[in-house]
Every structure is written in structure tokens, then in C-alpha cells.
């Protein structure tokens, strides 16, 4: 099954949120979300030699059109509404070793309502039950207690703490969920 087919088949509904394919009309909302001043410090955007703007355009395109065979990105929507409020993803998805890295972002207007926790739970359930992923790793900055709680509520446990690259004193917490 291709990544694009996997994204199309992964629509999931919870009590408050839906995970589903993001239409191309959400490109502007997704770009704004990735660049939001309260979100941007918590995500790692590696743009290498390209400009940050060019990199952002490529990232949005990859997320919307499932161009990356090693990643699965779904939009987070309030149930019954069509407004993109975040994303949940499996990144560095290794189908042979059955492992992936969890990623998620949520518009700050929706923080503190349990929506990220529910969306991550839906994605983890899909990853384990439908895709056979056995090891999922999630990461957050040391000061990102909201993200830490989302992972803990979804069964991930703190595995290690690493120094943040290029930072003086900041750390990255690495959480893991194992399912055999």
C-alpha cells in the first residue's frame, strides 16, 4: 500500500476530533500553523540550503500530497467541522522495522481542551492496529509540559533526555511506546 493510499484509508473519528486527509485548500492554514509564533519553537524545521520560505512550501506540499514514503500526515479537525486545527503524523516511518516517530501540532486556540490527546490516541491506535507499528517514539522540548502530558496520557513513557542541538541548556525529552 502506498503512503497516499494509507493516508486516504486512515480517516478516524473520536468524540471531539477527526483525523483525515488534508485537502489542498488547507495549504494556507497549514503554512500559518507551522509558522505560528507559539508553535514554531516546538517543531524542528530543517531547511538546509534552501530558504525557510521555500522549505516551508515543500513541507506543506509533502504533508498535503503524501509525497514522503516515510511519513504519514493527517489533519486534525473538530468533529463535524471543516477547519484544520492541527496535524498528527508518523515520521521516519520504517515499515521494515515497524517503527516511527510521532509528530503533532495544534493551533494554540485549541490548546488545553484534550484535542491533541484524543487525536494522538487515534493516530497511535491506527498505527498499531492497522499498520503494525511496534515502536513509536515521541519527542518534545524539556519545557513543553503540554506535549509531555499528551504523550504520557497516550501510554508513552520517558526513555531518555538529550541535550538540544545548538542550544545552551535546553533538552529534548524522548518518550517511547512499545507494542509487540
Residue spans per domain, the chain: 3-178
Alpha helices in 66-129 (DSSP H): 115-129
Higher pLDDT, 52 or 40: 40
Whether domain 3-178 has CATH 3.40.630.30: yes
Query: What is the tens place of the pLDDT at every residue in 4-50?
Result: 455 556 789 999 999 999 999 999 999 888 888 887 776 665 545 55
Distance, in Å, from the CA atom of 172 to the CA atom of 149, rounded to the nearest integer, reads 14
Instruction: Read off the pTM.
Output: 0.88
Query: What is the tens place of the pLDDT at every residue in 102-133?
Result: 999 999 999 999 999 999 999 999 999 999 99
For residue 68, pLDDT beyond 90: no
Amino acid at each position: 500500500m502506498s503512503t497516499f493510499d494509507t493516508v486516504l484509508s486512515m480517516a478516524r473519528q473520536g468524540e471531539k476530533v477527526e483525523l483525515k486527509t488534508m485537502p489542498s485548500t488547507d495549504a494556507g492554514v497549514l503554512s500559518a500553523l507551522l509558522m505560528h509564533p507559539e508553535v514554531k519553537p516546538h517543531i524542528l524545521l530543517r531547511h538546509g540550503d534552501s530558504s525557510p520560505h521555500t522549505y516551508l512550501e515543500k513541507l506543506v506540499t509533502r504533508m498535503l500530497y503524501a509525497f514522503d514514503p516515510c511519513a504519514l500526515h493527517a489533519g486534525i479537525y473538530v468533529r463535524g467541522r471543516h477547519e484544520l486545527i492541527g496535524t498528527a503524523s508518523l515520521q521516519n516511518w520504517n515499515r521494515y522495522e515497524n517503527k516511527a516517530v510521532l509528530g503533532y501540532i495544534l493551533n494554540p486556540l485549541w490548546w488545553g481542551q484534550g484535542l491533541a490527546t484524543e487525536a494522538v490516541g487515534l493516530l497511535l491506535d491506527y498505527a498499531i492496529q492497522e499498520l503494525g507499528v511496534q515502536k513509536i517514539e515521541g519527542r518534545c522540548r524539556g519545557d513543553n509540559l503540554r506535549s509531555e502530558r499528551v504523550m504520557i496520557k497516550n501510554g508513552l513513557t520517558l526513555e531518555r533526555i538529550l541535550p538540544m542541538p545548538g542550544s545552551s541548556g535546553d533538552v529534548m525529552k524522548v518518550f517511547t511506546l512499545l507494542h509487540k
